[in-house]
Chain A
Amino acid sequence: MMPNKLKKIKIKHYINYVVIGIMTAVFAIITLTGGRLDSSLLYLLEKIAISIILAVSLSLVVGFLGELSLGHAGFMCVGAYLGGKVSALLADVLGTGFINLLISIVAGAAVAAICGIIIGIPALRLRGDYLAIVTLAFGEIVKSIFQNTSSESFGGALGLSTPRYDKKWLFIYAFLIVLLTLAVVQNFIRSKHGRAVTAIRDNEIAARATGINVTKYKLLTFTLSATFAGIAGVLYSFSNYTVQSVKFGYNYSIEILVMVVLGGMGSINGSILVAALITFLNTKLATILTGDLAVLQNLIYAVILIGIVIYNNAPALKNFRNTYNFNALMKKLFKREDDPSRVGDDTAKWDVVPTKIEMNEVLSIDLVPQDMQDLTGKGGDK
């Protein structure tokens, strides 16, 4: 039983590294052997990598900490501007190679992390709707500040131009950063710290009572999430050549949120899958749906978002969910033969934790002596 279970967990947890790793390797080999990838495909791959980083980092806050952040694009914006600026400054000295990219990413991530701490401090005092509105306010503030900068500093409304990079390698760096993000985030979640974070999500008061430093972990999660959003922003600035603050509005934050919610809150693999899928669909749909029809895409996202949330959370649908969910269907499909040597586990039979009264009933039946059962007439049934 035990080794089997361990093996199962391993496959589930490392499959994302494997898939992304193989993908990166295949593309890297194609590039190395001289095969030139289509530039639109390269752009799509970069965008997918950026979306995955964003979705996974937002999933930390929404899925694991259980707080809603509507300013994720704001952190990305900070990273994009700062990273873009640093790389533009360094371009004359270092050229536009890997070292430039690395330094820009560190700079962008650091500034985004500082913003994460700044926005994390109100997060300690607020929760739920208030926190959501504060993060939203943060996103708007950042947008407004960068929009009104002078053209020499950050380009103002026209946007900041970043130096041109060799597109051949950028997406591979991007995917390596995705792998790094996954390594950090997944290990964080499965560490002591990650369990503390999920404990805070499930019941903050109980978590506090068990000695978890709620303040510290909330701040940590926020900062980590903001840092990776900043990194995604730096990648964006490399991929797009120009950074415009208008792009990082409320709508972009919602798009990232849609990825996390559709992927299943608290599921990293789901977030990755949906992030890649939505980015792909967005790019493809953008060429099909033009003009006023482009909104159709938003309409579909809105309907799916409402539908998924109601399906996953409505108390009335609880029974339905329990019978017809993905895991239950899988179990039915791949039903294993019952192993006669397996000893039945009593606790596993309860779907819900029994209340005290039910517990007493169960215990009293078990504990009534044989002769007593005969006297009460219950013994025959047992």
Chain B
Amino acid sequence: MELILSTLINGLSLGGIYAMIALGYTMVYGIAKMLNFAHGDIIMVGGYVIYVFMATKNPLLAVAMAVIFCVCLGILIEKVAYKPLRGASPLAVLITAIGVSYLLQSLAQIIFGSANKMVTVYDFGSISFLGVTVQVSALVTLACTIVVMIALTLFVKCTRVGRAMIAVSEDKGAAQLMGINVNGIITITFAIGSALAALAGLFYLLKAPTISSTLGAMPGIKAFTAAVIGGIGSIPGAMLGGILLGMVECISYKITAIAPYTDAIEFSILIIILLVRPTGFLGKKRREKV
């Protein structure tokens, strides 16, 4: 019972992190119609910025700087690497995104070295609950994810910019005719996605206080998996997919027989879901017209 409860909470917390990253993927994919491979690496950049600013011993300042830096970086990447390719073939955009991801990883490794860095952002400690010891940071992560998701949903549904985002994701050309600044909206989307990635970087550091240049690569891919499982372009879908994937990962780690195959299991789930439901659980089915 205690094992189940602790697995459940850890799974939810890990799922929260995945959901946070998946939200960034899903928004960018929904609006710019591109898979931003570099998204995972922005998590890593956020982590390193926190590491640098933790020298001031002020966690809030470090987190704020990480968010600001990542937002600027996200906008810069969008302007330099992706904007010139708007209207080009999706393959070209995808390869550029891979290039950017590679670039960020190698830059980080050159600046900070290949050795892992240790950084403790804030020690929340742990509490006992129904006989189970739970890391408070896991609960904080979960709470933050829920708050962010609600805020994001409200933002998209109730503000002008949010509704413009929906319009752009539905039909870019028609949105432009309606007087929406499409480029501006795409930039805002990248900014929001990058801010979420910075927060995800924070949660990663709360979970395990080590950071390396490949910190974001695997979570990035897994979060994209989560976004696809939930239905790409859908905000609740990203949340659902993230939590599902987090739970699967935590449960799989607890079962000794299949623990080494955790990654393989998660990716197999992705392949199976794409085969059965190519649009994910909550994605809209769209018929292709000539």
Query: Which residues on A are within 8 Å of B, measured CB to CB?
Result: 62, 66-68, 70, 121-122, 125-126, 128-130, 132-134, 136-138, 140-141, 144-145, 147-148, 205, 250, 254, 257, 261, 265, 292, 295-296, 298-299, 301-303, 305-306, 309-310, 312-317
Contacts and interface: CB of A to CB of B under 8 A. Distances in A.
A127 to B, nearest CB: 9
27 contacts: A66-B91, A126-B274, A129-B90, A132-B35, A134-B270, A134-B271, A134-B274, A136-B221, A137-B271, A140-B221, A141-B264, A141-B268, A250-B217, A265-B91, A292-B114, A298-B102, A298-B106, A299-B107, A301-B102, A302-B99, A302-B102, A303-B99, A306-B100, A309-B95, A312-B92, A313-B92, A315-B86
A133 B278 contact: no
Nearest to A132: B94
B255 interface: no
A254 B102 contact: yes
Given A126-B274, A295-B114, A316 B102 contact: no
Contact of A129 (B35, B96, B110, B221): B35
A133 B221 contact: yes
B224 interface: yes
A173 B107 CA distance: 40
B88 A313 contact: yes
A314 B84 contact: yes
Given A122-B274, A305-B95, A313-B88, A144 B225 contact: no
B90 A299 contact: no
A144 B102 contact: no
B117 to A, nearest CB: 13
Contact of A125 (B81, B90, B274): B274
A255 to B, nearest CB: 10
Nearest to B290: A205
Q: A-B pairs with the 9 shortest C-beta distances? A: A137-B267, A302-B103, A313-B92, A305-B99, A129-B35, A313-B88, A302-B102, A299-B106, A306-B99
A84 B96 CA distance: 35
A140 B263 contact: yes
Interface in B81-130: 81, 84-92, 94-96, 98-100, 102-103, 105-107, 109-110, 113-114
B71 interface: no
B173 interface: no
Interface of B: 29, 34-35, 81, 84-92, 94-96, 98-100, 102-103, 105-107, 109-110, 113-114, 217, 221, 224-225, 228, 260-261, 263-264, 267-268, 270-271, 274-275, 278, 288, 290
A147 B263 CA distance: 12
A249 B100 CA distance: 18
Q: Is chain A's interface secondary structure helix, strand, loop, or mixed overall?
A: helix
B96 A144 contact: no
Nearest to B36: A129
A82 B98 CA distance: 30
A133 B263 contact: no
A254 B90 CA distance: 17
Contacts of A121: 275
A51 to B, nearest CB: 18
A296 B108 CA distance: 11
Contact of A316 (B84, B221, B275, B278): B84
B263 to A, nearest CB: 5
A66 B90 CA distance: 10
Contacts of A296: 106, 110
B218 to A, nearest CB: 9
B261 A305 contact: no
A125 B270 CA distance: 14
Contacts of A147: 260
B95 A261 contact: yes
Contact of B261 (A129, A138, A145, A303): A145
